[in-house]
């Protein structure tokens, strides 16, 4: 499998800095490892979508994964969900919130999800080269990000060719 992944040519756009508006969302919070993260979206997005339907909440963008806390060896705290048309009240099952307005380093990745680690490394290298600091802090369980997201506009069930999958990566930066 590794050979197959390495054989696929990565299409990485160049990172850039952009201002992004505040965006309300609905999500489910999860604790995962690098071994289990691949099941987070397919296992939990349908629950968020059903909750949104039951509560008459309109989807307003591509599904996302928010990286709340990251320790590649010990585990990650993430959220999976959707941007929504307006902020609504969550409940015990689904939380709601707002992706903060601000400046972000962003990049579009084309290719299989297994190559997103390399794409994130490229974005992080760009930020380091430009002397940009992410809005985050080092916590006892890993790096805690104010706003770090991956948006997935391509539905793999509709587009079987992984080389055509698009992921939009965004890290909030300090001013």
DSSP the chain: -HHHHHHSPPEEPPPEEEEE--EEEEEEEEEE-TTTGGGHHHHHHHHHHHHHHHTT--B-S--EEEEEEEETTTEEEEEEEEEBSS-----SS-EEEEEPPEEEEEEEEES-GGGHHHHHHHHHHHHHHTT--BSEEEETTEEEESSEEEE--S-TTT---GGG-EEEEEEEB--
What residue ranges do the domains of the chain occupy? 11-172
* pLDDT per residue of the chain (175 residues) written in tens, 0 to 9: 444 444 444 455 899 999 999 999 999 999 999 999 999 999 999 999 999 999 999 999 999 999 999 999 999 999 999 999 999 999 999 999 999 999 999 999 999 999 999 999 999 999 999 999 999 999 999 999 999 999 999 999 999 999 999 999 999 999 7
**CATH number 3.20.80.10 is the correct assignment for the domain at 11-172:** yes
pLDDT at 13 (0 to 100): 80
pLDDT at 100 (0 to 100): 98
pLDDT at 3 (0 to 100): 42
pLDDT at 12 (0 to 100): 53
């Amino acid at each position: 499998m590794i050979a197959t992944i390495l054989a696929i040519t990565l299409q990485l756009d160049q990172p850039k800095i952009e201002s992004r508006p505040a965006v309300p969302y609905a999500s489910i919070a999860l604790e995962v490892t690098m071994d289990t993260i691949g099941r987070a979206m397919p296992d939990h997005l349908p629950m968020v979508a059903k909750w949104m339907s039951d509560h008459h909440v309109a989807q307003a963008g591509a599904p996302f994964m928010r990286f709340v806390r990251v320790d590649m060896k010990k585990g990650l705290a993430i959220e999976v969900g959707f941007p929504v048309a307006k902020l609504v009240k969550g409940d015990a099952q689904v939380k709601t919130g707002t992706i903060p307005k601000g400046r972000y380093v962003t990049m579009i990745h084309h290719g299989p999800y297994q190559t997103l680690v390399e794409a994130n490394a490229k974005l992080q290298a760009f930020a380091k080269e430009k002397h940009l600091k992410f809005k985050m802090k080092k916590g006892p369980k890993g790096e805690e990000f104010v706003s770090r997201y991956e948006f997935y506009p391509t539905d793999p069930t509709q587009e079987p060719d992984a080389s055509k999958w698009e992921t939009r990566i965004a890290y909030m930066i300090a001013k």
